[in-house]
Structure 1
Amino acid sequence: MPHLVTFGEIMMRLAPPNHERLAQAPALAVTYGGGEANVGAALAQLGLPAAHAGCFPDNPLGRAAAGHFRRYGVDMRPCVFSETGRLGLYFLEVGASLRPSRIVYDRAESAFARLDPAAFDWPTILDGARWLHWTGITPAISAAAARACAAAIAEARRRGLTVSADVNYRRNLWQYGQKAQDVMPPLVAGCDLVVCTEGDAEDLFGIRPAAGAPNGFASVAGQLIARFPQIKQVIATRRDTQSASHERICGLLFQDGQYYETVPYDIAPVVDRIGGGDAFLAGFIYGATAYADDPARALAFATAAAALKHTIPGDVNLVTAAEVEHLVAGNTTGRLLR
């Protein structure tokens, strides 16, 4: 049975090799990714079983996307294959030095956007699970996806599961006539853990750091917990982007009125930053399970996992728990391991 169940859209990723631009690329490398499924796949690599619920077109592209995550140990049996809709795509130009990476989305009328909420039997899907994860991208895609997400959260609450969300506000996705500021609060109210930056807190909930607050994140997180009492933990990463090839990241956590911050990791060169936030959350879920009484250690594990993701091509963080612990222990030289 899965430790974690995720719910969300999976898309095909198409990227020119060798930092080329789309205009000059003779070929595109194919992989697959989705914010929620990336978390499940990363957790499976760490040794905790995961399942994913989603909707794919019933064609070779949909089956290839599902097979990609099955390959990394994710149970895809909760997924639905539809006769309508298409597989969403995104095109990634991987930046270098002063040129930032760029993404172009082509996801309109996807099978996931057109899903039937009644197609998901949440009592069966969540049977035996301990955790449900979703992101703010899912309810942004369509009203049907938002209803399915709400049903999943309600069933998870009835069963006493831990529910997490990366609120991940994408302004341009909310195109179906409902506002994120109306849809997201009732969904977030059912969460125990949220990934939420100061910017997302302001955009979605109108929450800003209190005047004169010495720590903006702690101030916002405290207000978020006060508004949504089910929330016990708020986490985020802080990025100091030096260039497309050089990142500094640290992890932040607010829990039980206490603020935690990790040491920063200096990452250069960045191989692929896509999925870094998903790796962070997967690492925190693992850490919260393995080190339930030590939130600082759980956060350190999560941040190290996110740092390692920046060194791996593709959306999924293909690292083991031992490799993450090796980095947490201070082994940052990249010395050859034999």
Structure 2
Amino acid sequence: MQEYKITKEIMSKKIVTFGEIMLRLATPGFERFSQATQFTATFGGGEANVAVSLANYGMKTEFVTRLPKNDIAESCIMNLRKYGVGTNEILRGGDRVGIYFLETGAVARASKVVYDRANSSIADIKPGMVNWHEIFKDADWFHWTGITPALSQGAADACLEAIQIANEMGVTVSTDLNYRKNLWKYGKTASEVMPALVAGCDIILGNEEDAEKVFGIKPEGFDVAHTGGEVDAAEFESVCTQMMKKFPRAQKVIITLRGSINANHNTWGGVLYSNGILYQSKRYDITHIVDRVGGGDSFMGGLIYGLLTYTDSDQKALEFAVAASCLKHTIYGDYNLVTVAEVEGLMGGDGSGRVVR
């Protein structure tokens, strides 16, 4: 396989992401909440996870959020800086950092997430607080997810403001639909809020159920809860075409395809639809999952890098995204701490896991 170097042109690209980062408290190993006497503390959140991936690939990133002025928030910011993520545009204010608790499942027992993020600092954000014109003046890409507008009306309005300004300034806008039913609690549904935001997007990413849950768009005869590990990529072409018809600005629609055999064994792949062509990725068989949280974010980070790097090949961009997210399943925590060389190695067929000496 051809080797792709990180060029100065790629490194000069600036990607801005906007959303909430939380303190992650996970039970050790596969312990249940009722068993745990301690929790492992890390940080994570959809848009921050994407920024970390891109920073690892050598790209310039800026993560925009709102955090309180306390030691937990300072630790969070230091954690982002450790991985090379830009933090200069983080607003300070509000009362707390959101928290999520994670219980990792095993075999037939699913993982569980419990949120403790009500009234977090970003939930109180309002339009006008962020100087988007200044942030976007040297930006190439803006990324947000469906988690942010689910937090509050203010967060939804601030997100829409950012999208509209990015559109005005010619910045590419991408979204991961990321439907989280347990977050939409402020009186609006995703179906009411999301269309106006997604209408301003050039790149739309979703998984097998996002388009259905948010827009009622689904492939015929497909049951996401009972895949048995088998997902027919071709079935999702209709989802992509329906999404593009609904959102004519979109240039590409991408669907991640997860076949869940059990909590530790998934198949993984994706499709990308652009200019009337459906690209299908290689399918990976992930037999010993270490941590699947952040898998979709690692896909998005890989996709953004791929689209900016392999400008002549949507197929290569898709393969990079799928390989990057496959590797994420082997890494503990929200962040995908892999290099371009490691991803390209897997793309090229090196999945042996042999010791590198």
TM-score by length of structure 2 reads 0.91
- Structure 1 residue 267 and structure 2 residue 286: aligned? yes
Match of 1:292 among 311, 322, 328: 311
User: Structure 2, unaligned stretches of length 5 or more?
Assistant: 1-11, 222-231
The equivalent of 1:334 in structure 2 is: 353
**Structure 2: distance between partners of 1:137 and 1:16:** 23
Moved >6 Å (runs of 4+): none
**Structure 1: distance between partners of 2:211 and 2:59:** 30
- 8 Å Cα contact 2:132-2:165 kept in structure 1: yes
The equivalent of 1:178 in structure 2 is: 188
- 8 Å Cα contact 1:194-1:235 kept in structure 2: yes
- Structure 1 residue 89 and structure 2 residue 99: aligned? yes
- 8 Å Cα contact 2:208-2:255 kept in structure 1: no
Shift of 1:144: 0.5
Taking a change above 3 Å as real, the CA distance of residues 206 and 100 of structure 1, as seen in their structure-2 partners, is: closer
Shift of 1:256: 0.8
- Structure 1 residue 50 and structure 2 residue 58: aligned? no
Match of 2:32 among 11, 21, 41: 21
| CA offsets 1:216-251 (integer angstroms, 9 cap, x no match) | 311111111112111011112111112211121011
TM-score by length of structure 1 reads 0.96
Matched residue of 1:163: which SS?
Answer: strand
Question: Relative to structure 2, which stretch is displaced further, 286-295 or 196-205?
Answer: 196-205
The equivalent of 1:239 in structure 2 is: 258
- 8 Å Cα contact 2:233-2:257 kept in structure 1: no
**Structure 1: distance between partners of 2:347 and 2:263:** 24
Shift of 1:214: 9.7
Shift of 1:58: 1.1
Residue type of the partner of 1:28? F
Matched residue of 1:229: which SS?
Answer: coil
- The size of the alignment, in residue pairs, is 337
- 8 Å Cα contact 1:193-1:232 kept in structure 2: yes
How much identity, in percent, do the aligned residues show? 48
**Structure 2: distance between partners of 1:7 and 1:18:** 31
The equivalent of 1:136 in structure 2 is: 146
The equivalent of 1:5 in structure 2 is: 16
Match of 2:79 among 62, 68, 74: 68
**Structure 2: distance between partners of 1:16 and 1:210:** 38
Residue type of the partner of 1:139? P
- Structure 1 residue 257 and structure 2 residue 276: aligned? yes
The equivalent of 1:321 in structure 2 is: 340
| CA offsets 1:250-290 (integer angstroms, 9 cap, x no match) | 11111111111112111121111011100101111111111
The equivalent of 2:48 in structure 1 is: 37
Residue type of the partner of 2:186? Y
The equivalent of 2:226 in structure 1 is: none
Taking a change above 3 Å as real, the CA distance of residues 210 and 270 of structure 1, as seen in their structure-2 partners, is: closer
Shift of 1:47: 1.2
Taking a change above 3 Å as real, the CA distance of residues 2 and 109 of structure 1, as seen in their structure-2 partners, is: farther
Residue type of the partner of 2:240? A
- 8 Å Cα contact 1:138-1:149 kept in structure 2: yes
Match of 1:150 among 151, 160, 178: 160
- Please report the RMSD computed on the Cα atoms of aligned residues, expressed in angstroms: 1.7
**Structure 1: distance between partners of 2:72 and 2:219:** 45
- 8 Å Cα contact 1:198-1:216 kept in structure 2: no
- 8 Å Cα contact 1:85-1:114 kept in structure 2: no
Residue type of the partner of 1:99? R
The equivalent of 2:7 in structure 1 is: none
Matched residue of 2:288: which SS?
Answer: coil
Taking a change above 3 Å as real, the CA distance of residues 68 and 2 of structure 1, as seen in their structure-2 partners, is: farther
- 8 Å Cα contact 2:208-2:256 kept in structure 1: no
Residue type of the partner of 2:296? G
Shift of 1:125: 1.4
| CA offsets 1:5-58 (integer angstroms, 9 cap, x no match) | 000000000012122122222211100001011001101101111110001111
- Structure 1 residue 163 and structure 2 residue 167: aligned? no
- 8 Å Cα contact 1:135-1:168 kept in structure 2: yes
- 8 Å Cα contact 1:237-1:252 kept in structure 2: yes
